[in-house]
Homo-oligomer: A and B are copies of this chain.
Amino acid sequence: MNNDLRRAVLDGSERNGSSASGVGMGSHAFAKDDRITLKHGAGGRAMRGLIETAFLHAFATDPPQLAGVHGLAAMDDGGAVRIGDRWLVLTTDSHVIQPAFFPGGDIGRLAIAGTVNDLAMMGATDVLGLTCSVIVEEGFLRRDLERILESMRETCLEADATVLAGDTKVMGKGEIDGIVINTAGIALTSRLITDCGLRPGDRLIVTGTIGDHGMAVMATRHGLALDTPLESDVAPINGLIRAALAADPTAVTAMKDPTRGGVASVLHEMASKGRVGIVIDERALPVRTEVRGISELVGIDPLLVANEGKAVMAVRADAAERVLETLRAHPLGRAAAIVGVCTEERPGLVVLDTGFGRRLVAEPEGELLPRIC
């Protein structure tokens, strides 16, 4: 089974990474018959290349230096505009996860948590409102739709958020695989936190165990029978982030949620944008025993695997212990840990200290599994 599973997983990743297609960082040259491949939606280097060449080319009417606008060119978890003395943060995500119901959650919970967490990553933890746009396939079971909506309702209650506007579309049988949900959200904050504010000396904190969501979905897809079933960590963590920010309002210098592409992808983006090096202590990374088990079984590093209820934070060194303590006092932050430090050396690079030596962590091409979120 070990080999079969590994092959199945690698087949998936192979498919995911097929057809190189000449989309490079910063390059705008591509062949006339270039086609979109799965990796262009996988959250890593390939997707960043597509966004930088195609989307920013179209929408970069907002220079990042424009006062009062934190726009698309910043490529952050969301955009923001100034309203009076506060920032109004705006974010969106479409959710295409397969299967729609998975251990620990479903597409509805994922959609609410995903948008609430993106807002929280920018320091905006009190949600003003959400939108919910559902696209379903003709023939979709109404009771499944209601179950998903009920899950969204419950997740909204957890996040103290309200859906203010919605939209419903139905596509024909075979025109869409089941259900897709888009959520957008708005929230106000007096202090905007970006993903680029890291400074040498800052400590890096992950707010809990890593790889839970991706490994749980992978195990489900491959019908893996485990002694202890894996569960996704999908949860709205705006309450956790609110507590951490309250502990020291200026301690957090950058924040990002490690979804597609996992913690490794997020660290690369943060190091590159903040122009710092990052050194991670592998032994400090919180990983569930079950996740470590399956990780060794299939040979996939939990650092590369998606999370849906976690944050990676850069925190001023002098405040790191206090923030950590606050995180650990919250039910969703019990396994939080200081896992690394920002350095002046090797800006843009991520180094893993294994305890036996140090190695560079390559920037992932993208999430290994398609439709992970």
Chain A residues within 8 Å of B, Cβ to Cβ: 15, 21, 23, 30, 32-42, 47, 50-51, 54-55, 57-59, 61-62, 69-72, 78-81, 83-84, 88, 90-94, 96, 98, 128-129, 131-143, 145-146, 149-150, 152-153, 156-157, 162-172, 174-177, 180, 182, 184, 186, 188, 370-371
Query: Is A141 in contact with B34, judged by CB distance below 8 angstroms?
Result: yes
- For residue A57, which residues in chain B have a CB less than 8 angstroms away from its CB? 146, 149
Partner of A370, one of B62, B71, B149, B172: B172
Query: Is B168 in contact with A59, judged by CB distance below 8 angstroms?
Result: no
Given A30-B142, A90-B165, 12 other A-B residues pairs in contact with their CB atoms under 8 A: A59-B163, A62-B162, A90-B131, A93-B133, A94-B135, A96-B135, A169-B371, A172-B371, A176-B176, A176-B180, A182-B182, A184-B184
Known: A72-B163, A133-B93. A371 touches B59 (CB 8 A): no
Between-chain CB contacts (< 8 Å), 29 pairs: A34-B141, A35-B141, A38-B170, A40-B168, A40-B170, A41-B171, A47-B168, A51-B166, A51-B168, A54-B145, A55-B168, A58-B150, A59-B156, A61-B153, A62-B164, A69-B162, A70-B164, A72-B165, A79-B129, A81-B164, A90-B131, A90-B164, A90-B165, A94-B133, A94-B134, A94-B169, A135-B180, A176-B177, A176-B180
Q: Looking across the interface, which residue of chain B has its beta carbon closest to that of A93?
A: B167
- For residue A152, which residues in chain B have a CB less than 8 angstroms away from its CB? 58-59
Query: Is B35 in contact with A142, judged by CB distance below 8 angstroms?
Result: yes
Dominant SS among interface residues on chain A: mixed
As for how many copies of this chain the complex holds, the number is 2
Query: Is B36 in contact with A92, judged by CB distance below 8 angstroms?
Result: no
Query: Is B54 in contact with A146, judged by CB distance below 8 angstroms?
Result: yes
Partner of A170, one of B30, B36, B78: B36
Query: Is B38 in contact with A88, judged by CB distance below 8 angstroms?
Result: no
Query: Is A88 in contact with B186, judged by CB distance below 8 angstroms?
Result: yes
- For residue A98, which residues in chain B have a CB less than 8 angstroms away from its CB? 175
Query: Is A83 in contact with B83, judged by CB distance below 8 angstroms?
Result: yes
CA distance A264 to B21 in the complex (A): 48
Query: Is B38 in contact with A143, judged by CB distance below 8 angstroms?
Result: no
- For residue A79, which residues in chain B have a CB less than 8 angstroms away from its CB? 129, 131, 164-165
Taking the closest CB of chain B, its distance from the CB of A192, in whole angstroms, is 13
